[in-house]
Amino acid sequence: MASSDDVRGFGWELHFESGNSDKFYRFIVVTGDEAIALGLHGSRNGDGQVGLLTTRITGAEALAQVVTRSRAKENKGYEVSRDFTVFDLPVSLTGAADAKANAHEIARYFGKYARESGTELPNASHIPGSNF
């Protein structure tokens, strides 16, 4: 349940496996006073790297950026592994100046909510630390 100190986020994840390649791309939009667009990518069982990070934009711009990137990944053969998930996270993690440093913690909240809400699919990657 969200508190007044929480901010709404939206996320989904894509997975790609072929030969020796087994990787994910996670897309997250954080709303609030300063919208954030995050993209984390990497090998299936790692934290991933922050590959798309846009701050100080509107929520609509953030969503448009991650949708465009998501479609490009789907065109390359990535498949949904965590469907569209709405989640809440503490406002303390959402400042634009700290977005990159907090990206993995934001992803942990996304993973927890995806698991609890049933949007996590069998091919979802492991998000280290999301079992809180």
Tens digits of per-residue pLDDT, 11-70?
999 999 988 889 999 999 998 778 888 999 999 877 889 987 787 788 888 888 888 889
Question: Is residue 101 over pLDDT 60?
Answer: yes
Amino acid type, 20: N
Tell me, what's the pLDDT at 119? 97
User: Can you tell me which residue has the tokens 């996304």?
Assistant: 110
pTM of this structure: 0.88
- Residue 58: its pLDDT value, please? 83
The 3-class SS string of 51-101 reads: EEEEEEECHHHHHHHHHHHHHHHHHCCCEEEEEEEEEEEEHHHCCHHHHHH
- Mean pLDDT of the chain, nearest integer: 88
DSSP character for 44? T
pLDDT at residue 115 tops 90: yes
Give residue 25's pLDDT.
94
In this predicted structure, the answer to whether residue 132 has a pLDDT above a threshold of 70 is: no
